[in-house]
A and B are shown apart, each in its own frame.
Chain A
Amino acid sequence: MATSVNSYRTGPDERGHFGLYGGRYVAETLMPLILEVERAYNAAKVDPDFHRELNYYLKYYVGRPSPLYFAERLTRQLGGAKVYFKRDELNHTGAHKINNCMGQILLARRMGKTRIIAETGAGQHGVATATVCALFNLPCTIYMGSTDIERQAPNVFRMKLLGAEVKPVTSGSATLKDAMNDALRDWVANVENTYYIIGTAAGPHPFPMLVRDFQSVIGEEVRKQLHEMEGRLPDTLVACIGGGSNALGLFHPFLDDRSVSMVAVEAAGLGLETGKHAASLTGGKPGVLHGNRTYLLQDDDGQITEAHSISAGLDYPGIGPEHSWLHDLKRVEYVSATDQEALDAFKLLAKIEGILPALEPAHALAEVIKRAPNLPKDHLLVMNLCGRGDKDVFTVAAALGIKL
């Protein structure tokens, strides 16, 4: 990858690297299993039956394609670019997470695995995993940081209703990164029957690749839908990033369309200058965690530091390795939005479009609010509205000082 890049869509290489990033930094116990997942995925990828089955469930169970919606009132208010929302919050379970879960559970079934584990931050991935496990009658254990269990109570209850076991994780900062540690520990102890549905485009190869592939349905639909509505490609794509799967899902199909610019929004928490944020690209440096090399929030001794964001889904000190690569190549612009900016965006969208966005895409919306007014009126901007905000009403109420 040292040569100039002819295509941004060919990664990773056969060893799972995106340039410097990615790879398979896992304990030997997991290595044979990860190689097996890779073999199974490569076989599934070229099997028309696998795609037929996946497309069936995406259409009739998830509700795809999700609409591409022209936000007319918001566009008028901002006075610049035409703002479209990709409404992935209208998927079954209320976020983009289910696209990936559906793909991975079908893969797990092909591999003959009989037990599913997953980590979750905001709880959206946990709910999506618990949902597909209920659908396919597989037992499921979800690891969730105890801090997140507290701030995402509705999702915890949903997972339990769906039949999942939710295991609280108290180690470290008791958030997403620690949940991922415990999920990996579970996997090491149960390699024979268990499949780990990783929720974002991170972790050891092949996960960053396969999660990206399963999420790419978002961008593929946008391409088709916008063509029908406007007869052309978008000019700017905007998405939030924690691990980065919804952003990659939107961006990846457009990476080689040079006219399309892309903006990913990290969580700046209380502000980058305070150190209390989750902006690994802006405030971190490359390191190795959770099976891959990528940008990480860490100290000078290589110890991972705690991330902060009002949004549990972005509260992770790392990011998917493909984003690190796209960042260094400058193909995607990486910016950030604070807790406060996300809250303001959340309130605005509720009032002006009648949509409660999740706090995660509220970060993307904050960037749209900054950017759209300075763009010409014929500029087509598509933002991934990747989750709905029902789960966040308690967090938002608390932040606004309102008792429910």
Chain B
Amino acid sequence: MSRIAARFARLRQEGRAGLVTFTMAGDPDYATSLGIMRGLPKAGVDIIELGVMFSDPMADGPAVQAAGLRAHKAGASVRRTLDMVAEFRRSGDNETPVVLMGYFNPIYIFGAEAFCAEAKKAGVDGLIVVDLPPEEDHELRPHAIANGLDIIRLATPTTDAARLPKVVEGASGFIYYVAVLGITGTKSGAIEQIQESVERIRKSTDLPIVVGFGIKTPEQAAEVARVADAAVVGSALVEIIGGKGDTVRSALRFVEGVANAVHSSRRKAKADA
């Protein structure tokens, strides 16, 4: 069983939702970024999503754009991102799934086949490539499959019933539901609409459904955790990393708060009922 499948199996067994965090690899520098990554599992993170820096992130808001620029200045690259995952695995964590999220060009230039092989070797479990819709992912998918990497597809509020089958067909790992019409770190989705969409997607797939975009607070994360298999927190965390002071400590403290809210949300929901 893949690390991602094992993690969701465990969450199901424990009757709780999961927390996924997004950070940009190499932000604000390699050592700090690795330090944060190493602390995430203990702070309660169930799946680590790691951004691969790209100069033109068209689906990202100001927070993630700034994170990419910080990482770029500090020498981030595809190779360094893979190094970071390998170092994370070497430090002893062989269970927490690591998913890389980014745009196609850096992968294309690295070479899709080489990238998938190296990513697997480094300890990566899945890939989210934002600008590679099902119509275009045929250059990456075979290599991902050959290396046992999950191709995680995005579903959005514009993915209607006619299109949904195309999105879920050939997807693996989980479905990432983008909760808002828009870019990362801006507006937040209404929970009623998120719930309705998650239920709609569940009818066409058995894969876990993870919800992200616009989730900034422990309260919002807990709310989403009641209706989805996991919630993603990205920009809010990235903003802390871009702030001043001991960013490792403040980032992990923020993550702990969100993790507690997510992990207890269903118990709380039951108690409230």
Contacts and interface: CB of A to CB of B under 8 A. Distances in A.
Given A28-B178, A172-B55, A304 B183 contact: no
Contact of B163 (A32, A188, A304): A32
A190 B53 CA distance: 25
Interface in B117-159: 130-133, 135-136, 153-159
16 contacts: A24-B133, A24-B135, A25-B131, A27-B131, A27-B154, A27-B156, A28-B133, A28-B156, A28-B158, A29-B178, A31-B133, A287-B108, A288-B104, A298-B109, A302-B54, A304-B55
A291 B58 CA distance: 10
B157 A288 contact: no
A185 B58 contact: yes
Given A185-B58, A288-B103, 7 more contacts: A23-B136, A24-B136, A27-B58, A28-B154, A29-B178, A30-B158, A301-B106
Given A28-B167, A28-B178, A304 B159 contact: no
A198 to B, nearest CB: 13
Interface string B158-185: 1110010001000000000010111100
Contacts of B159: 28, 31-32
B161 to A, nearest CB: 11
B154 A189 contact: no
Contacts, number: 119
B181 A289 contact: no
Interface string A296-325: 101011111100000000000000000000
Nearest to A205: B135
Contacts of A202: none
Contact of B56 (A28, A192, A304): A304
Interface of A: 15, 23-33, 171-172, 177-178, 181, 184-185, 188-192, 287-291, 293, 296, 298, 300-305
Interface in B60-111: 61, 65, 72, 77-79, 103-110
A25 B132 contact: yes
Nearest to B132: A25
A288 B65 contact: no
B260 interface: no
B186 interface: yes
Contacts of B163: 31-32
B183 A185 contact: yes
A284 to B, nearest CB: 11
Contact of A188 (B135, B136, B183): B183
Contacts of A189: 180-183, 186-187
A27 B59 contact: yes
Interface residues of B, number: 44
Given A28-B156, A29-B181, A181 B131 contact: no
A296 B58 CA distance: 16
Contacts of B105: 287-289, 296, 298, 302, 304
A316 to B, nearest CB: 12
Contacts of B167: 28
B76 to A, nearest CB: 9
B108 A302 contact: yes
Contacts of A30: 158
Contacts of B108: 287-288, 293, 302
Q: Is the interface of A mostly helix, strand, loop or mixed?
A: mixed
B181 A191 contact: yes
Contacts of A302: 54, 78, 105-110
Nearest to B187: A189
Given A191-B158, A302-B107, A26 B133 contact: yes
Nearest to B104: A288
A27 B54 CA distance: 15
B80 to A, nearest CB: 9
A172 B79 CA distance: 22
A192 B109 CA distance: 34
Given A28-B167, A189-B182, A288-B104, A181 B158 contact: no
Contacts of B59: 27, 29, 185, 188
Top 9 closest pairs, chain A to chain B, by CB: A302-B109, A302-B106, A189-B182, A29-B156, A28-B154, A303-B55, A302-B105, A301-B77, A27-B59
Residue among A178, A303, A305 with most chain B CB within 10 A: A303
B136 to A, nearest CB: 6
A68 B131 CA distance: 42
A133 B107 CA distance: 39
Contacts of A301: 77-79, 106, 109-110
Contacts of A27: 58-59, 130-131, 133, 154, 156
A28 B155 contact: yes
Contacts of A190: 181
Contacts of B79: 301
Contact of A291 (B55, B77, B131, B154): B131
Contacts of A291: 131
Contacts of B55: 172, 303-305
A327 to B, nearest CB: 18
Nearest to A26: B131
A192 B135 contact: no
Contacts of B109: 287, 298, 300-302
Contacts of B107: 302
A289 B157 CA distance: 24
Nearest to A33: B158
A260 B78 CA distance: 45
A172 B56 contact: yes
A303 B186 contact: no
A188 B182 contact: yes
Nearest to B158: A32
Nearest to B107: A302
